[in-house]
Structures are given as C-alpha cells and as structure tokens.
Structure 1
Amino acid sequence: MKEEMYLGYIKYDGPLVEDGLMDARKQAQALMGFDSAVRYFIGKMAPELQSLDFEIPVRIRKGSWEALIPETVAGWAQAGLGVVATAYFTKAAQKMAEKDFSDFGFKDIFRASLDGLKWFARIGKHMGDVSIRKFSDVRFDSSNGLIGIVNAKGEILYVPKHILDIYSQCPANILEKIAANITKGRDLVIGSIEGENLDEVTIDSSEKHIFCQDEEVEEDEILFPELEHGAEVVLEGEITRENKTSNSMGFKYNDHILTSYPENGSIVRYKHLIFSLVRLYGRVSRLDEKGRLNARRPKLIFRHLEEIRSDETYDLFNQ
C-alpha cells in the first residue's frame, strides 16, 4: 500500500500528548483554528477561492497529536465543489503565476498557505509581538528576493517579500485558537513538507503570549457603556471566529471581542468574512443570560456585514 504524503501539519508535542490524546474541546478548537487560518492564507494568495466553501481534509495521527493535510487535498476540494471548481482553481493558479509563482497548481496553493501560517509564527517569535507591522533598518538580499527584519536584540530574520507583504495585513489573532492549547508540557509545532524537505516552527509556553490576546473583562467593568441597549449602530471591526452551534461570530471592536448574531438566518453566508475587516450594521443588546438588562459586555445583533476593502497598496517600508 502506497504511503500517503502530506503538505504540512500542526501538531502538539511534549509529555502531555505522548499518547496522542487531548481534550475533545481542545482538539475541536485546534481544528477550527487550523481550518480558518489556512483558508485565510488561501484567500490572500488566491482571492478567487476566498468565497468558496471547499473541503480541507485533515488526518489525525497519534504519537504527538498531529493534524496533517494530505497531498490529495486539491482533489477533495474539487470534489466538494463540483465542476465549477476547475475554473476557479485554474484562474487562481493563473493569478499566482502573475505574482511570480511559476508553475503553480492546486497543491501548491495549499502548500503556500501552510507556508504563510508557518512564517507568521516564525516572524511573531522573532519580533516578540505580532502587532509590529512597521520594520526599520531592514536588510535586503536581492539575489534571493529576501528582506531581513531586525528585532529588539539586533537579530536578523530573512523573509520572502511576498510573505512579508501578507504578514503586514494579517490579523494579529490568526493563531490564537491553535496557540490557546499551548501549556507547559505541550508545545505547538507548525510544519510544511516539500519532497524530502521538512521545515517547522515550534511555539512553547514561554512564547504563547505573543499569539494569544486576553479577551477577559474585569468582573466589575462595564464594557463600552456608550453602547446602550437597543441603540442602532454602525461599527467597524474584524470578524475573528464563528460558532455554528450558537449561530454567532466574534467581532473585534477596539481590542475587545464582542459576540454578534445575525438578525435573520445563518452565519454560514458570512463565513468568507472570517479574519476580514468589516462594517457591522445592527443594534446593541445588553440582555444577560436570564433576559435582564444587566450584561456588562454588549452583544451585537447585525442586519448586514460589509467588507471594508482598500485599493491602496500597503507600503511596508515607507511609513
């Protein structure tokens, strides 16, 4: 039987997962975070695929806890979408070629997205803060198309220019769901595989804070008191997550995550907006779990989400 080949993976490694076991909720969170992050990078590298709800197969392997994407991923995606997929993938591959990615095919788009995820972790570790998007005193390796970014210790990390362009616009919390499972005795590893070459990045418990943001509000603090119950609002923020069970989405507004619910219908039609900047049209709810006007953190009931697009090119080095 032919051994299955893989494009890349995330895994948790260490004494806590030596038997391949992990809490079911932690596993579900990791898989949802992995799926969302891979789709984000696919959408950045091949925008034609952004709004398509294709399947991403993942195999869980024991040893450490590993979630691997097989080389057959493109076939799964095409099968899930039907005949329309071929046109979309072909167009996406053409666009990739225009950006100096020669001979790109289906697998390459997925492999590139895994590379993006891995590089996000590597740059975040190097800088010690994923919110840093302006780099001074950069170095150039024009022969290899690399840009060297310098951290506070004076260390230089050379990064492909197209990766740095994407990183400059990437949501700071894109690894949060995956990194949330990191603890002492359980490290996160992100890897990509090409032929015999394996490249991976490890995030341990001392680096977890770089990728996880604290969303907790002090018990006695009323968050955004100006957002009064029943008020009609138009707010700008970022969609950070989805929860099909509660039919809700996370909306990052002024560095806090607010739970938002569609006024009508399912959140599925807004799935393509995850990790996007949007304008939310809706109203505020201060009802708590018992139906009292007592909630310290407001909820948002939205009628419409409008993606905020910019035609301006982000100039990474002239700010």
Structure 2
Amino acid sequence: MPVETEQYEELGFVKYSGKTLIDGVIDAGSAGSALVGLDEAVRFFNSQQSPDFSTFQYDVPVQTRTGSWEAVVVASAAIGGAFALGYAKKAGEKLAENDFKDLGLKDILKRSMSALQTLAKLIKHTRRSRNWDRVRIEPSLGTDTVLVANDNGDELSIPIEYFRWYQQLPPRLLVKMTSVIRADRVLTIGVVRAAGVEEVTIVEEEKSLFNQSQEDEYEEALLFPELHHGAEAKLEGRLIRGSEASNSVGLEYMGHVINCVPAHGNIRQYKAALFLHCKVEGKITRHAKNRFVADRRPTLMVEKVTPLEIDGQMGLFPG
C-alpha cells in the first residue's frame, strides 16, 4: 500500500546560485546562516501582522532543493498530516482565538515573504538599509502605496502596510542571508504570485548595502539647534509616516524628519492629516532618549495638527 505524502504549496524562496552550486552543494555554515536569516525575517514580518506571533511557539516550514541551493517556504495543502498537526493546527488554533480567524497561515506566510522581497528591492533602489526618511516619499494616487524616490529620481511603489513595518525593522535583519553572497554566488529572493514568480537578485557589489550599521548615523552636531529643549514650536511640513507601535508620526521638515509624539491620546487622531502639508504645534524635547544627554534630533510633543491642503489620499492607519 503506497504511503500518503504531504502536499505543499510553494509561497516564496531564497536561492543561492552560481557555478559552484550547480549540484546544490553548499558549506554547512552558509546554509545555516541563510536558514536562520530567513527564519528571523519571516518571524519579524509575521509579528508585524499580529503580535500573537511573538507569544507562542511555532516553526517556519521550509523545503530545500538542488540545482542551485534553495530554501522554499511552503504551506500544507493537506488537512491532516505532519505539517498540519505539527504547525498549522497548533498555531492556527491559537490565532483563531485572536485576530486571524478568517486569514489562513498560508496568507500570513505569503505576505511575510512578499514583504521580505519588497524590502530587498527597496534597499537596492535607495542604496540604504534604513533612514528612508531622507529620501523623497509621496503617496500614490488612489492606492494603498507610497512612492519612494532614490537619488536619481527613480520611483519605487511600496505598499503602505509594508512601509509601516519597515519603520520597526531590527538593525541588519537581512545580513545573515546576504553574508552568504560571494563573487561567484548570488542571492535571489522570490515570491510565488498568481501571475508567476517575482524575483529580486542581490550580487556581491550590493552586499554592503544590507550591512549599514546603526553607528554610521550622523553624530557631529545638533540638528536644528534653534529648536531647544522646552521651546514651543510651530513647524510646517508633510506628515510622511506613522507607527502605532511607538505612537508617533514623522514630520518632513527642511529635508529631515522630526519624530512627533502626541502630548495626549493616540496618533489615530492625525489619520486625516497623513501625507498632507500641515502646521504642527507643540513643545520640543531634546531628552526623549536620555535625560542627561541631549538628543541630536529634536522630538515634538504635539498639541495640535492643522492640515494646510485637502486630503486626496488614503491614510496609513486601518479603520
């Protein structure tokens, strides 16, 4: 009697290819780094979709295959079986108690792989792995996306939801995966979509873009020294991002982004003003991080936001 095998659906993958990997053989250290990096990235984006993913134990299911060396994120197509019992059943039952009753784990994993691939595209496009507040960001008309322009003026469309997740990105999230890249070994991150497979490839010359450390932040002098601690300020600029996790929005002001925190309440009160040119009023603090050392970048404790143009865009925050 034949043994029943588990059926899987491929959602996305990371693949290393080159002349030395034709037979799918790779050193154990590289394979381990790649798999750990993939696991960490998928878990981060899972947790952005629901904090529940940070509170229970689960596994990220992958298959490896040769031809190159490839790790494929999969979801089970079976109702029973080892995968459903060992992963989907336990995690699914936990999620059913919370926010994802109508959204399958396959959908969550697929969105995480899509966010991972889009992040790689964003880093290649802007040539930076953080500090995207220093490039031009605009809302995209009629869609839930933003357009991110690089130094050449080329634009990349990013889902607003993904861009919000990227504001919470751990430092060097993709370094374990990109560290495996060599002169003769390129990394491809792919997502399986209805229209086909969408890929982005990272070569050795781009490897350093994914390893920009937090320490290279400009530290020389205070930014906007005239905005001293405790001063009342009225600033005009565009609200370009928001984070409910940190309860803050970013104000694009004179080529920089100033972090703005409501003096009272939640940032949802500013939903209608997101991506609009506004006048923002409040008190400056230079000690948001350390009460003994002045922050280089001021933070504005917001009392009032007044849009100075008509809202023609959809907001970042759901609901």
- With structure 2 as the length reference, what TM-score do the two structures score? 0.62
Which deviations, in whole Å up to 9, do the C-alpha atoms of 1:57-102 show, x marking residues without a partner? 21111011100012219976763368653342222425xxxxxxxx
- Shift of the alpha carbon at 1:11? 0.5
Distance 2:68 2:52 in 1: 35
Which residue of the partner structure matches residue 91 of structure 2?
85
The amino acid that maps onto 1:61 is R
Q: 1:26–1:109: structure 2 CA closer, same or farther, 3 Å change rule? A: same
Match of 2:76 among 72, 75, 79: 72
Which residue of the partner structure matches residue 47 of structure 2?
43
- Shift of the alpha carbon at 1:174? 0.5
Is it true that 1:172 corresponds to 2:182 in the alignment? no
- Shift of the alpha carbon at 1:194? 2.6
Distance 1:144 1:131 in 2: 24
Counterparts of 1:124-273 in structure 2, within 5 Å, are: 124-213=123-212
Q: 1:314–1:3: structure 2 CA closer, same or farther, 3 Å change rule? A: same
**Residues 74 and 106 in structure 1, CA contact (< 8 A), matched pair in contact too:** no
Distance 1:51 1:77 in 2: 20
Distance 1:83 1:19 in 2: 35
**Residues 192 and 198 in structure 1, CA contact (< 8 A), matched pair in contact too:** yes
Which residue of the partner structure matches residue 315 of structure 1?
249
Distance 2:139 2:244 in 1: 27
- Shift of the alpha carbon at 1:145? 1.6
**Residues 78 and 85 in structure 1, CA contact (< 8 A), matched pair in contact too:** no
Distance 1:84 1:2 in 2: 17
Distance 2:177 2:124 in 1: 15
Q: 1:30–1:84: structure 2 CA closer, same or farther, 3 Å change rule? A: closer
Distance 1:209 1:18 in 2: 25
**Residues 42 and 110 in structure 1, CA contact (< 8 A), matched pair in contact too:** yes
Which deviations, in whole Å up to 9, do the C-alpha atoms of 1:156-177 show, x marking residues without a partner? 1111101111112212301000
The amino acid that maps onto 2:42 is V
Distance 2:164 2:206 in 1: 23
SS state at 1:206 partner = helix
SS state at 1:162 partner = helix
- With structure 1 as the length reference, what TM-score do the two structures score? 0.62
Distance 1:20 1:12 in 2: 9
**Residues 147 and 155 in structure 2, CA contact (< 8 A), matched pair in contact too:** yes
Q: CA RMSD in A?
A: 2.9
- Shift of the alpha carbon at 1:193? 0.8
Q: 1:84–1:168: structure 2 CA closer, same or farther, 3 Å change rule? A: same
Distance 2:18 2:136 in 1: 37
**Residues 9 and 74 in structure 2, CA contact (< 8 A), matched pair in contact too:** yes
Q: 1:88–1:22: structure 2 CA closer, same or farther, 3 Å change rule? A: same
SS state at 2:48 partner = helix
Q: 1:84–1:7: structure 2 CA closer, same or farther, 3 Å change rule? A: closer
**Residues 191 and 198 in structure 1, CA contact (< 8 A), matched pair in contact too:** yes
> Is there any run of 5+ residues in structure 1 with no aligned partner, and where?
95-102, 215-251, 256-308
Distance 1:68 1:311 in 2: 31
SS state at 1:134 partner = helix
- Shift of the alpha carbon at 1:47? 1.1
Distance 2:89 2:64 in 1: 29
Query: Which runs of at least 4 in structure 1 moved beyond 4 Å after TM superposition?
Result: 1-4, 73-78, 81-84
**Residues 74 and 107 in structure 1, CA contact (< 8 A), matched pair in contact too:** no
Match of 2:9 among 2, 5, 14: 5
SS state at 1:154 partner = coil
**Residues 26 and 69 in structure 2, CA contact (< 8 A), matched pair in contact too:** yes
Q: 1:108–1:181: structure 2 CA closer, same or farther, 3 Å change rule? A: same
Counterparts of 1:273-288 in structure 2, within 5 Å, are: none
Q: 1:181–1:136: structure 2 CA closer, same or farther, 3 Å change rule? A: closer
Q: 1:73–1:125: structure 2 CA closer, same or farther, 3 Å change rule? A: farther
SS state at 1:174 partner = coil
The amino acid that maps onto 2:142 is S
Q: 1:85–1:141: structure 2 CA closer, same or farther, 3 Å change rule? A: same
